[in-house]
Amino acid sequence: MEIIKAAGGLHKFMNWPWPILTDSGGFQVFSLAKIRTVKEHGVEFRSYLDGTTLFMGPKESMEIQRILGSDIAMAFDECPAHDCTPETAQDAVQRTIAWARECRVQPRAEGQMVFGIVQGGVDIGLRQHCARELAAMDFDGYAIGGVSVGEPEHEMMRAVDLTEPFLPADKPRYAMGLGTPAQLVELVARGVDMFDCVLPTRIARNGTAFTRKGTLSIKGGAAKADFTPIDKDCECYACRNFTKAYLRHLLNVDEILGLRMVSVHNSHFYLEVMREIRASLSAGTFAEYRRQFEATYIPTQKVLASRLERTAIAE
């Protein structure tokens, strides 16, 4: 924090003029479950580096985000596992509400917005209670938390369906940790405005690119002599300058440029989908856009299922 503070915040440290959103550390309450203890006023973590005991609560989380100087700071919450007991889910909601109340009154960086995070699993009563309590605090925006934590897709969508009706219509809605291109379209149809996800770069590191028809593996032998771009209609830097054959070569010799170029393409693809969604909403044609996207885009899990089926037939 001392380094970021001396630099004048993240924007100056990174020389990044665009918006920055910082998470509160609530996801680490979930992901570091083996080395943390949840208490009434926050969470004790055991450092994975040297075993030192560290404490994070609403005040500490908001102070860190104030120093970072992000444009959007998230309230500190407890994100339980999707298969937790009803009692655990209820306790997490109560802590999330109490911690949000404390986060709401902490000092902020100049111009910084704060979003509340709705928890509650797939329990409609808990989701409704949490959303209404947070809405009464009048946050700048609201996040749907407790999704993309290992649950099946239908449960993820159900959690969104249970939450969205109770969020203020005039404030941004943010689905945390989501999602695939097809999920983004479906979530916009459910009233969600904002997303964050590691998928564009995560699958790029595995040599997989997003296209209009679904995902495309570039590392395989099929691309060895394919001198066409990832997508002939794409205007990203990678597609304007390199072929699949060259990108495959880079990926297979572990050259960092290959990972970067597929990441550039995937990020461009996501942004282009969001631009198209905004344009269709403005034009009143989103329903048709949604139908066309669903008709042409094959989700990754369906591609994998099809490959497994073909393999089984061949054997």
* C-alpha–C-alpha distance, residues 204 and 210, integer Å: 9
Out of 20-24, 98-102, 112-116, 121-125, least confident range: 121-125
Per-residue pLDDT tens digits for 171-230: 999 999 889 999 999 999 999 999 999 999 999 999 999 999 999 999 999 999 999 999
pTM here? 0.87
Q: What is the pLDDT, as a whole number, of residue 202?
A: 94
Please indicate whether residue 138 or residue 304 has the higher confidence score (pLDDT): 138
Per-residue pLDDT tens digits for 88-110: 889 999 999 999 999 999 999 99
Please indicate whether residue 300 or residue 122 has the higher confidence score (pLDDT): 122
Position 300 confidence tier, pLDDT thresholds 50, 70, 90:
low
Active site residue 23: yes
Pick the catalytic residue from 23, 50, 71, 254: 23
Q: What is the pLDDT, as a whole number, of residue 298?
A: 87
Give the other-Cβ count within 10 Å of 19's Cβ.
10
Pick the catalytic residue from 196, 226, 231, 233: 196
Q: Which fold has domain 2-197?
A: TIM Barrel (3.20.20)
Domain residue spans of the chain: 2-197, 201-314
144 neighbors 114 (Cβ within 8 angstroms): no
Task: Determine whether 38 is exposed, middle or buried from the number of CB atoms within 10 Å of its CB (0-12, 13-18, 19+).
Answer: middle
CA distances 225 to 69, 218, 220, 221, 249, Å, are 48, 11, 11, 8, 10
Q: What is the pLDDT, as a whole number, of residue 154?
A: 87
Q: Please state whether beta strands 42-46 and 53-56 pair in parallel, antiparallel, or not at all (unpaired).
A: antiparallel
Per-residue pLDDT tens digits for 35-94: 778 888 888 888 878 888 888 899 999 999 999 999 999 999 988 888 888 898 899 999
Q: What is the pLDDT, as a whole number, of residue 80?
A: 83
Active site residue 83: no
* Residue carrying the six token digits 């020389």: 15
